[in-house]
Amino acid sequence: MSNLYGRRVLLGVTGGIAAYKSPDLVRRLREAGAQVRVAMTAGAMEFVRPLTFQAVSGEPVHHDLLDPAAEAAMGHIELARWADQVLVAPASANFMARLAHGMADDLLTTLCLATEAPIALAPAMNRVMWANAATLANRDLLVRRGIRMIGPGSGDQACGEVGEGRMLDVPDIVAALTGDPAEPGPLDGTRVLVTVGPTREAVDPVRFLSNRSSGRMGFAVAAAARRMGAEVVAVAGPCAVSTPPGVERVDVETAAQMHEAVMARAPGCDIFVGAAAVADYRVAEVPEAKIKKNDDTLTLSLLKNPDILQSVAALPDPPFTVGFAAETHDLRDHAEAKRRRKSLDMIAANWVGRAQGGFEGDENALEVLWEGGGRSLGMQSKAALADALMELVAERYHEERGSQDSR
Which of 292, 241, 268 has its CA nearest to residue 33? 241
Alpha carbon 377 to chain centroid, angstroms:
14
Residue with smaller CB distance to ligand PMT, 80 or 217? 217
SS3 state at 255: helix
Q: Which is nearer to ligand PMT, 142 or 222 (CB)?
A: 222
Whether residue 123 is preceded by a cis peptide bond, meaning omega within 30 degrees of 0, is no
Could you please report the per-residue DSSP string of 305-355?
Answer: PP-HHHHHHTSSS--EEEEEEEESS-HHHHHHHHHHHTT-SEEEEEE-SSS
Closer to ligand PMT by CB, 224 or 278: give it: 278
Residues that bind ligand PMT (CB under 6 A): 195, 197, 213-218, 255, 274-278, 280, 305, 307-309, 323-326, 338, 350, 352, 358-360
Residue 188: count of CB within 10 angstroms of its CB: 12
The H or E element containing residue 223 is helix 216-227
8 Å CB contact between 129 and 93: yes
Q: Which is nearer to ligand PMT, 99 or 309 (CB)?
A: 309
CB of 197 to ligand PMT, least distance (A): 6
Exposed e or buried b per residue across 285-307, where buried means at least 16 C-beta atoms within 10 angstroms of its C-beta: eeeeeeeeeeeeeeeeeeeebeb
The total number of residues written for the chain in this structure: 407
CB of 118 to ligand PMT, least distance (A): 24
User: Burial code of 156-180, b = ≥16 C-beta within 10 A, e = fewer?
Assistant: ebeeeeebebbbbebeebbbbbbee
Alpha-carbon span 73 to 311, nearest angstrom: 47
Which residue lies nearer to ligand PMT by CB, 94 or 311?
311
Residue 239 annotated as catalytic: no
Q: How far is the CB of 298 from ligand PMT (least distance, A)?
A: 24
The per-type count for the chain, helices as H runs and strands as E runs, is 15, 19
Residue in 112, 159, 239, 269 annotated catalytic = 159
Cβ proximity to ligand PMT: between 80 and 312 the closer is 312
Shortest approach of ligand PMT to residue 288 CB, angstroms? 25
Smallest gap from Cβ 97 to ligand PMT, in A, equals: 42
Cβ proximity to ligand PMT: between 122 and 346 the closer is 346
To ligand PMT, the closest distance from the beta carbon of 87 in angstroms equals: 26
Least distance CB 342 / ligand PMT (angstroms): 7
* Beta carbons of 335 and 347 less than 8 angstroms apart: yes
Rounded Cα–Cα distance for residues 122 and 222 (Å):
30
3-state secondary structure 39-105: EECHHHHHHCCHHHHHHHHCCCCECCCCCHHHHHHCCHHHHHHHCCEEEEEEECHHHHHHHHCCCCC
Please identify every residue annotated as catalytic: 159
